[in-house]
């Protein structure tokens, strides 16, 4: 007798491959909501582990201070921000005197380092949403060094592809110290209300 039921067949290669696939991927197929499944919910493009953001403040550029800001998270809700920049007499005209002791200001070769430092607190966690900050910065403009100390508050959003956008407002004191002799601007304290509009990239 030679019928199909009694014949002892050797399993084909396809059978072995199917078995291999079944065992290998069975966890994924049958295991409901296993570790592999939940991984997708943790895929946040590395934002949670990211501790650094490089930023450019548009309001600073408008004010003739070409600054690059580095924000670093050191606790879940707290970060510091350091900014280094350059103030030159080629920048925004409104921030510079027209003449320095009789010489047109734009004829003078002038370039100085500016810096900014801030401590920021995000109630919902760095780097998103509402933040409060304590800021200090120095801008050595041609004619006067400007020292700002202010408290700020604003919102920072994560846009797609790790881009951030922040908008904020502050209130504080400004100390202007003339740095030319004779002085071309008057020194003194004043209150001021700075604005912040920055875009950044999460590193």
Partner 1 sequence: MKKITIIYLALIPLIFTTLKAQTVSQNIIIGDEIKQSFKNGFYDLEILTDDEEYFYALEIPFTAVYSMSIGGSKKYAIAKYNLENLQPVKSVPLELTFEGKDRKYEFIAVVGGEIYLFTSFQNQEQKKTYLFVENIDKNTLEASKSLRKIAELDYSEYNRYKFAQFEHSISEDESKIMIRYNLLDKGNSIINGGFKVFDSNLKELLKYEEPLPLKEDAIFTFSGYEVLNNGEVIILGKYFDDKRSLKNSTKMKKKYFLFGPRVSRRYPNYHYQAYHINSRNQLLGYSFDDFEHYITDLIIGSSPSNEIIAAGLYSDIGKMNVKGTFTCELDTEDNKMTNIQFNDLDFNYLTKGLSERESSKLNKLYQSKKEFSTNFFALEDLVFYEDGSYALLAEPFYSDYVVRGNQQTGFYTVYRYQFKNIWVLKHDKSGELEWKNKVIKRQYVEDGAIKYASYGVNSFDDNIQFMYNVTQPGIFTKYGNPKKASLHQTIINENGELSTKMILQDQRETLPFYNSDLKELKSGGVLIFSNKGRNYKFLRVKN
Which positions lie near partner 1, rule CB under 8 A?
32-35, 37-39, 41-45, 47-49, 75-78, 121, 123-125, 128-129, 155, 157-158
Task: Write down the least CB distance from residue 35 to partner 1, Å.
Answer: 6
Based on CB atoms, which residue is closest to partner 1, 5 or 41? 41
Based on CB atoms, which residue is closest to partner 1, 102 or 123? 123
12 secondary structure, DSSP code: P
Based on CB atoms, which residue is closest to partner 1, 33 or 181? 33
For the residues of 76-128, what is the DSSP string, one character each? Answer: SSEEEEEEEEEEETTS-GGGS-SEETTEEGGGS--EEEEEEEEEEE-TT-TTS
Task: Write down the least CB distance from residue 37 to partner 1, Å.
Answer: 8
Task: Write down the least CB distance from residue 80 to partner 1, Å.
Answer: 13
- Taking alpha carbons only, the member of 66, 61, 137, 144 closest to residue 105 is 144
Cβ contacts of 89 within 8 Å, gap of 6 or more: 96, 105, 106, 108, 109, 110, 111, 142
Based on CB atoms, which residue is closest to partner 1, 13 or 38? 38
**Cα R_g (the chain), whole angstroms:** 30
Task: Write down the least CB distance from residue 152 to partner 1, Å.
Answer: 17
């Amino acid at each position: 007798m030679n019928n199909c039921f009694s014949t002892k067949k050797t399993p084909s290669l396809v059978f072995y491959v199917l078995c291999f696939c079944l065992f290998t991927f069975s966890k994924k197929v049958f295991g409901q909501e296993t570790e592999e499944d939940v991984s997708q919910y943790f895929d946040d493009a590395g934002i949670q582990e990211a501790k650094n953001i490089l930023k450019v403040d548009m309001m600073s550029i408008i004010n003739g201070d070409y600054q690059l800001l580095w924000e670093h998270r050191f606790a879940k809700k707290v970060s510091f921000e350091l900014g280094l920049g350059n103030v030159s007499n080629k920048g925004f005209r409104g921030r510079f005197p027209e003449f320095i002791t009789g010489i047109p200001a734009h004829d003078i070769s002038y370039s100085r380092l500016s810096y900014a430092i801030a401590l920021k607190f995000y109630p919902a966690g760095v780097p998103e949403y509402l933040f409060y900050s304590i800021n200090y910065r120095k801008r050595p403009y041609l004619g006067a060094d400007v020292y700002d100390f202010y408290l700020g508050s604003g919102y920072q959003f994560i846009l797609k592809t790790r881009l951030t956008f922040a908008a904020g407002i502050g209130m504080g004191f400004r100390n202007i110290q003339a740095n030319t002799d004779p002085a071309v601007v008057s020194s003194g304290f004043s209150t001021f209300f700075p604005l912040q509009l920055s875009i950044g990239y999460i590193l």
